Amino acid sequence: MNAQLQNLHGDFKVILAQLSALAQSRGFRIYIVGGVVRDLLLRKNIFDLDCVVEGDAIALATSFAHDVRKEFKKHHAFGTATVYYDRHTIDFATARRETYSSWGVLPRVFPANLEEDLLRRDFTINAMAISLNKNDYGTLIDYYGGLADLRKGVIRVLHDKSFLDDPTRLLRAVRFCKRFSFAIEKNTALWAHEAVRKDALSFVHPHRLRDELILILKEPSPAGCIRKIDRLIGFSFIDKTLTLGEGDYRIMRRLAHTIDFYKKSFTHCRKLDEWVMYFAAVLHTLPIKRIKEVLRVFDFRKGDRVRVFSAKEYIFKVTRLAKPLKPHSVYRILNELSFETILFLYAYHTDARIRASIEYFFNTLAHVRLKVKGDDLQRLGVKPQTLYGTILKKLFDTTLDMHLSTKEEEMRRVRLIAKKIQSKRVRHT
């Protein structure tokens, strides 16, 4: 395992040496654990660290943060702390065991040793540790067969009540299966089906389910995860009536092509929150009132709620783009929507005219900005100022329709627009 540690980024090698020395000076034992160890064994890049301390993790993190002059946060309830080290985060946790008073609730925690700490984890591949202690630095600690399961490519829980203790592990099992192209071990699959039959996910707070869903939808090619959830668990934990059919998966396949098309064709446009579009694809068959209720119960952020329910709301509204429209009308239909919503609609609809209008919006309309401002109208002597908004809106529509590209062209046009609006106002007074 020392070979894997030697292959770490230079920053991490320095950090690990500092942590090792600091823990030794305080009489603590320290280990890196969990997904970090798994990814080191899989030779994947490491960006953050998770450390378990047999001792006082908060005290160790506080001392480390002060020594390296970095920001940190303490979480006394769980005996944890986080240090923000430049581009990395380093999480510290006191070794602990957990007890669950009922299914799906957060556990009570008690100080423990490393072996007990690893036993509480979700899967064997995430229940390994590497010692950072002087006497066995770099040694892999694998009490539960995680390395063998990693080599065999299987997802295995550590005991038969694992999915009942924490039903979100059902979703995590799917995520890791698809990420690593692993299979769920036979007994683990039986225990997963048992937890599903007992409707275990209904005992989990919606906020925790939301966080797991977002992580799944952020995976590469999330449609595969969605199909796996559909087969293993179903989506009744989101809504009792929610089912997915092959038509929904066709939309997701088109969505994947749409995202690739956007990235290649519209490099000047902003980066997407792709998970929002996939969640819209999961929910779009529900009535819009029910979609809003799901988003409220799961407490998604306001901006995410708007993007998801707008995808449903505009499925039929956007069909107006199939008709011949002036550029400013295309702009008015699409500009109030997020790029994620627009691209979902592009994937949903196969009508070539609708798609052409959306492509035209991204290529030509989305980033048009007026060069003429209110100060220019003031210098022209346009009165009253209450007309400025009306004049500039009309100028913007004209700029789109006539493809005006310079300020001089806009100024010539704005004089005509202002004169016409002012004279009309005079006639009506």
Beta bridge partners of 73: 82
CB atoms within 10 A of CB 368: 16
Confidence of residue 20 (pLDDT cuts 50, 70, 90): very high
Residue among 282, 357, 349, 279 nearest 314 (CA): 349
What letter does residue 106 receive in the DSSP assignment? P
| pLDDT above 70 (res 3) | no
Confidence of residue 269 (pLDDT cuts 50, 70, 90): confident
C-alpha to C-alpha distance for 95 and 104, rounded to whole angstroms: 21
| pLDDT above 70 (res 427) | no
Q: What percent of the chain has pLDDT over 70?
A: 96
Tell me the pLDDT of the chain averaged across its residues: 92
Confidence of residue 419 (pLDDT cuts 50, 70, 90): confident
CA 388 to chain centroid, in Å, comes to: 41
pLDDT value, residue 426: 58
| pLDDT above 90 (res 46) | no
Q: Is the dihedral of CA 322, 325, 327, 331 positive or negative?
A: negative
Task: Work out the angle at residue 273's Cα, subtended by the Cα atoms of residues 358 and 305, and round it to the nearest 5 degrees.
Answer: 90
What letter does residue 368 receive in the DSSP assignment? -
Confidence of residue 209 (pLDDT cuts 50, 70, 90): very high
Q: Residue 116 corresponds to which tokens in the numbers above?
A: 């007990």
Interval 130-149 mean pLDDT: 95
| pLDDT above 70 (res 398) | yes
Residues 6 or more apart whose CB falls under 8 angstroms from that of 422 comprise 382, 383, 387
Confidence of residue 127 (pLDDT cuts 50, 70, 90): very high
Interval 381-386 mean pLDDT: 85
Residue among 176, 173, 118, 167 nearest 146 (CA): 118
DSSP assignments along 235-261, one per residue: STTT-TT----HHHHHHHHHHHHHHHH
pLDDT value, residue 335: 95
Residue among 344, 376, 361 nearest 279 (CA): 344
Name the pTM for this structure.
0.89
Task: Work out the angle at residue 100's Cα, subtended by the Cα atoms of residues 96 and 102, and round it to the nearest 5 degrees.
Answer: 170
More confident residue, 278 or 425: 278
pLDDT value, residue 325: 96
More confident residue, 237 or 420: 237
Q: For residue range 94-104, what is the model confidence (pLDDT) as tens digits?
A: 998 877 766 65
Confidence of residue 77 (pLDDT cuts 50, 70, 90): confident
Find where tokens 């310079």 sit: 406
